[in-house]
Chain A
């Protein structure tokens, strides 16, 4: 089995504080991995290290076969990222945002125009192409960010709280898009606070206080830690256990 993500003892400290503590994680290619954990668990920090945007303090990792420390450029060409905060240009239109990121990823001319149309249709934003991104509603904004993250057809998608603060209808639509990509072979790592979303993932990784505390399919985790309850119960238990430890 080949892994899209493979880390060994990945650690990141900020001063004396350890945000990510010796995380060893593997994500098989073509799967949807849910990354769970309370706020401050270190999910975002881990993702930023996987992107090569943040240097690890210790440990090693490979993403799509490239070493985190030396292969950041190669990684970025093939990874799509949606940050937990809307990070597109609010003063550019939907089309301008797409065009900008497309060109940054090396698309040009007809190819860029075709891809732009394709994604506008895919994200249901055809009528909003001239709308200033800052004026979009939450769901559309997120779909635009998603579209920008997959312009360059990445093999790995890192989605950091992509659906937080979005109404249920929009979340459902968003997940349909994720499944669509996963079916096409894209590996997806997604952090979320919604347990219904977590239940839809192939596998789950649970973090707390910087550590990886449990990994498995939703069913496995439920059996091991659920105490007869749902994933909610798993989450609460694992968050508490580590907090007490």
Chain B
């Protein structure tokens, strides 16, 4: 039995090796998708075009303006006549992604706030701009604090001086005139409270910047979130498509007719067909994984053997799906179309590209019916956060159930179709 399965698998390998198109797809597809999803499809915008209008005339306003101008990821766009209207026009023309208006009296009069205008049509640039703004304003915060401290210190010194003068005059008034010169000399020598020794109990200026700490993916890089899902996507695509094509090709070219009259049992035939494509999937998995680590500087945070095991659950499902497709397809073209039909919704709806939370209820319900939807959180959770089974068990359960059901169904259908 093992010999027959191996004979079939080896034959399949020779065929894969000879078929340039398959070989090319096996290597080119992961690379293409890595470029697409890792680089080109990246939602990170490096530089944001910003327009600034400072109407404040205050120190606080000046500090904010300086901070915005000197922030490296903001490219300042000059406005002919700086005003909120001019900003709105610049955003309309697409010249500016974010406009900042510093209102008159900012930082001194109550209820004055920075006004920030974002170009929602440039979705990802606007999101990046909003995310960067707090960081950009940090130097202003620091400057204002230092400034306030300095001013408080001057005030306190003046007050101490004033108090000391008053106290001296009071003392001298109580001393008989003859002794005044002597007392005056003593007082001068006595150690008065120096301003340095007075702790300045000035309150911190109120912070206008929320303290944001991003956990797990501090740079909020798209690649970090995409690569784990891409691992599954590449493997799903290759295994489903190639298994379906591999079986249907035998039927289309008539070789199946010869196979079914050999001692090969349906189950052996199935295993011999699956095994090579499992390996193809593994090669592509390794390729994307390595690219993630070495090209995109990702670190795998979770338990790797567990992740491999859970990925195997996905692969079993997708291999089974490929077999199912092969049982209902007459030729390779049909199989290809069916495979696309089965995979496209999984790519689009799994939360791999578009967030599940953003989907309408009905679509979300469909999304949760797709096996890949349950793999994406496993891949992302384990890769980025190092989550384990204690958190991921619901997804793992669903995926395992899918693997059992799909493989069972495929086996039954395959046996019937072959026998």
Contacts and interface: CB of A to CB of B under 8 A. Distances in A.
A77 interface: yes
A91 B260 contact: no
A104 B8 contact: yes
Nearest to A72: B419
A105 B263 CA distance: 6
A51 B263 CA distance: 11
A86 interface: yes
B17 to A, nearest CB: 10
B11 A89 contact: yes
Given A83-B257, A85-B254, A100 B11 contact: yes
Contact of B14 (A73, A87, A96, A103): A96
B258 A81 contact: yes
Contact of A53 (B18, B261, B265): B261
Nearest to B272: A104
Given A104-B4, A104-B8, A86 B265 contact: no
Interface in B244-267: 253-265
Nearest to A96: B14
A101 interface: yes
A101 B8 CA distance: 9
Of the candidates B14, B253, B261, the one having the most CB atoms from chain A within 10 angstroms of its own CB is B261
A77 B19 contact: no
B263 A85 contact: no
B254 A77 contact: no
Interface string A129-155: 000000000000000000010000000
A86 B3 CA distance: 25
B1 to A, nearest CB: 10
Given A51-B261, A53-B261, A100 B7 contact: yes
A106 interface: yes
Contact of A79 (B14, B18, B261): B261
Of the candidates A76, A100, A104, the one having the most CB atoms from chain B within 10 angstroms of its own CB is A104
B357 to A, nearest CB: 48
B122 interface: no
Given A76-B261, A101-B262, A83 B14 contact: no
A96 B7 CA distance: 11
B303 interface: no
A90 interface: yes
B15 interface: yes
Interface in B369-404: none
A88 B258 contact: yes
B19 A91 contact: yes
Interface in B2-23: 3-4, 6-8, 10-11, 14-15, 18-19
A173 interface: no
Contacts of A108: 3
Contacts of B261: 51-53, 76, 79, 81
A76 B264 CA distance: 9
A105 B262 contact: yes
A210 B419 CA distance: 22
Of the candidates A76, A77, A91, A92, the one having the most CB atoms from chain B within 10 angstroms of its own CB is A91
Contact of B263 (A81, A88, A104, A148): A104
Contacts of A53: 257, 260-261
A89 B15 CA distance: 9
Contacts of A83: 254, 257-258
A103 B3 contact: yes
Contacts of B260: 53
Interface string A95-118: 010001101111010000000000
Interface residues of A, number: 27
Given A104-B263, A105-B262, A89 B4 contact: no
Contacts of B265: 73
Nearest to A52: B261
A32 to B, nearest CB: 20
B263 A77 contact: yes
A104 B257 contact: no
Contacts of B253: 87, 90
Contacts of B419: 55
Nearest to A79: B261
Contacts of A86: 254
A87 B255 contact: yes
A100 to B, nearest CB: 5
A87 B4 contact: no
A90 B265 CA distance: 23
Contacts of B255: 87-89
Contact of B254 (A55, A87, A101): A87
A147 to B, nearest CB: 13
A235 to B, nearest CB: 27
Contacts of A106: 3-4, 263
B26 to A, nearest CB: 16
A92 B7 contact: no
Contacts of B7: 100, 103-104
A85 B257 contact: yes
Contacts of A91: 14-15, 18-19
A104 B262 contact: yes
B22 to A, nearest CB: 11
Contacts of B14: 91-92, 96
Contacts of A96: 11, 14
Nearest to A51: B261
A92 B14 CA distance: 8
Given A86-B254, A87-B254, A100-B11, 5 more contacts: A53-B260, A81-B258, A88-B258, A91-B19, A103-B4
9 contacts: A53-B257, A81-B261, A87-B256, A91-B14, A91-B19, A92-B14, A92-B15, A103-B4, A104-B7
5 tightest A-B CB contacts, nearest first: A103-B7, A87-B258, A87-B254, A85-B254, A100-B11
